[in-house]
Amino acid sequence: MRSGLASLLILFALGISAQNKLSDRIYFGGGFGLSAGSDVTNISLSPQIGYKITERYSAGVGITYQYVKIRNFESSINNYGWSVFNRYNITRQFFAYGEYENLQFEFFTPDGSTSRRGFNSLLFGGGYSESLAGRATFSVAALYNVLYDPADRTQPYDSPWVVRAGVGIGIF
């Protein structure tokens, strides 16, 4: 993790020039999720910060937090983790995307207690982005987790396919 973060910081420093202010290259994004039903409540927050290395290529980091309450159990679970991502804009609206995610996933065991495991996901795919207003954009992406194991019933994803939607905003 340290060498990856150091490499990202070096790329940040190399990408800054007199013609391109830092505020033009940094952007924030991510997602927020909320689902509440009669059986399950799920709240998730996944902020990201990215840096435009070139006009088409950017990289960044993110964190994830998820709260899950299942009515059949007397307790709730909390998942958290981090990720690093790369994004290449093929056109103004279509992009290729790759992400490594490490998620500390808590799950209910058959006796009603909880257990925690770390899960690694390597997600590849693409998406579509649309300008909203000013420096804000809406994006949706379909990603495939190449590390998905269908035999593992305790993993955080029910399928190797992960669909995400979110909003990104430039900092100024």
- 84 token code pair: 């690093």
Instruction: Provide the pLDDT for residue 20.
Output: 58
d(CA 18, CA 16): 7
Instruction: Provide the pLDDT for residue 63.
Output: 97
Instruction: Provide the pLDDT for residue 30.
Output: 85
pLDDT above 70 as % of the chain: 87
Pair 91, 100: CB distance under 8 Å: no
Average pLDDT, the chain: 84
Pair 120, 152: CB distance under 8 Å: no
Question: Nearest 5 degrees, angle CA 120-CA 122-CA 5?
Answer: 80
Residue-number span of the structural domain to which 84 is assigned = 2-170
Does pLDDT of 46 surpass 80? yes
Q: What is the CATH number of the domain that holds 102?
A: 2.40.160.20
d(CA 84, CA 94): 20
Look at residue 14 and give its three-state secondary structure: helix
Indicate the number of domains in the chain: 1
- 146-161 per-position pLDDT tens digit: 999 998 877 888 899 9
Q: What's the whole-number mean pLDDT along residues 54-75? A: 89
pTM of full prediction above 0.85 = no
Core vs surface per residue 148-159: b (16+ CB within 10 A) or e: beeeeeebbbee
